[in-house]
Amino acid sequence: MYRLEGKDYLSITGYLPGNQRLGEGLRGSAGLLPVLFPPRKQTPSASESGGQPFPTPPPKSILPRMILRKPLVGKPLEDEKLEKLWPILKFLATYHRYQVDGFDRIPKRGRALVVTNHSLATYDLLLLGAAILRQNRRHPVALGDRKLFALPWMAKWMTRIGVVEGNPKNAETALRDGKLVIVAPGGMKEAIRPSTQKRRIAWKNRKGFAQLAIRTQAPVILAACPKADDLYNVLPNPLTKLLYRKLRIPFVVMKGWGPTLLPKPVKLVHHISGKIRPPRWKEGDPRFEEKVNRFHDRVSKAMEELLAKTGKKTGSPFA
C-alpha cells in the first residue's frame, strides 16, 4: 500500500488528512469507497513496489496519476472518448460528493450482472462505471437503449465508452465472455417518471435481466443510487405519457436547481448489494418461466429495499 504525503488530498467526499493510508480509510468506512483524485505527491518505498520504481501512467491515460497497486500490464486504456469525458466526470463526482457504499462487493474478475435503477440524469451510471474502471481496472459493459443506437453518431460514441446496444444477444455474449455487465431494466420509462414516483422502479414487465442471469448463471449485484432521483423535479404531465406510449419520445417537464436546468448539488451514493444467485436450470426446463418470474420478483423486492436506504448514513465520516 502506498503512503500519501502532503497536507491533504481531494477525494469525492472532501478532504482527508495527509499520511493516512488508503487501506485504513477503506476499512474504516465499512466498504465505502471514495473515488480518489490524484494526490499532491506519491512516494512509495522500493519494498512497497516490489523493489521496482513506481510506474507512472502515460499522461493521456484515463487514469492520470492514479494510485496504482500494480504496474500497468499491457497497453494503457486507449479510449480517447473516455479521456475527453474524464474531466466532466471528475467535476460531476466532486459536485455531488460521489461515493460507492460496498464497492468491495463488485467482483474484479468473472461474469456478473450489475442491475441499477434509472434516473433522469443518467450520469450517475457513468460515475459508477468510472469508479469500477479506476479502482478495479476493469472496463464494464453497459447495455444502452436501442433507440439511441438508431442514431449512427450516438451509436459510435456510446460504443467507444463501453456501451453496447441492449439486446439479449449482446448481453449474453458479454456475460459468457466473463464480462461485468451493467443494465438498468426500467430504461427510459423509469427515467421519465414524475418526482411523485421517485425511488420506485418500473420493472413490472421488464424480466429480460432475470432471464439473462438464469441462462448465463451470472450472479446479480444491485447498485441503487436513491438520491439520483432528486437531481431534478420532474412534473407530472399527460403529454409525457402520450409521447412515450405512442412514439417512445422521452419528453419531460422538469426543473433543476432553483429556476435553472442545472442538476441540484445533492450527494450521490451508490449502494451495492451482495451477490444474488439465480436458480439453476437446463435447456428445455418446463419450469423456466416460473423460475424467471420468481427470480424477477426477488430481485425487484431487494432493489426496492436498497433504494429505501436514502435517509440512512453510509458509515462514512463525511456522510
The three-state secondary structure class of 107 is coil
Strands (E), 35-160: 41-42, 99-101, 112-116, 141-144
Stretches in the chain below the pLDDT threshold 70: 1-83, 310-319
Residue 83 domain-assigned?
A: no
Strand locations in the chain, DSSP E?
A: 4-5, 8-11, 14-17, 32-34, 41-42, 99-101, 112-116, 141-144, 163-165, 180-183, 220-224, 233-235, 253-255, 269-272
Round to whole Å and give the CA distance between 45 and 219.
Answer: 39
Number of domains in the chain: 1
Ranges of beta strands (E only) in 178-288 are: 180-183, 220-224, 233-235, 253-255, 269-272
Residues 224, 229, 233, CA angle at the centre, nearest 5°? 180
- What is the pLDDT, as a whole number, of residue 81? 56
pLDDT digits over 174-231, tens only?
999 999 999 999 999 999 999 999 999 999 999 999 999 999 999 999 999 999 999 9
**What's the pLDDT at 80?**
57
Q: What is the pLDDT of residue 242?
A: 93
| 33 found inside a domain | no
pLDDT at 30: 37
Residue 240 covered by a domain:
no
In a domain, 64, yes or no: no
Is 288 a domain residue?
A: yes
Q: What is the C-alpha to C-alpha distance for residues 277 and 218, in angstroms, rounded to an integer?
A: 7
- Among candidate residues 299, 252, 264, 302, the one with its CA nearest the CA of residue 124: 264
pLDDT of residue 154: 86
Q: Which residues, 6+ apart, have CB-to-CB distance to 149 below 8 Å?
A: 155, 158, 165
Cα–Cα nearest to 204, from 276, 297, 305:
297
Q: Which 3 state secondary structure label does DSSP give 234?
A: strand
Cβ–Cβ under 8 Å, residues 32 and 103:
yes
Cell of 178: 466473463
**Is residue 168, in this structure, part of any structural domain at all?**
yes
CA dist 176 and 178 (Å) reads 5
Residue 2 DSSP code: P
Phi-psi region of 62 (alpha: psi -120 to 50; beta: other; left: phi over 0): alpha
C-alpha grid cell for residue 129?
462505471
Judge whether 222 lies within some domain: yes
Instruction: Read off φ and ψ for residue 241, nearest 5 degrees.
Output: -65, -45
Continuous segment of H or E residues that includes residue 63: none
Q: Is residue 205 part of a domain?
A: yes
Domain that holds residue 144: 92-230+267-311
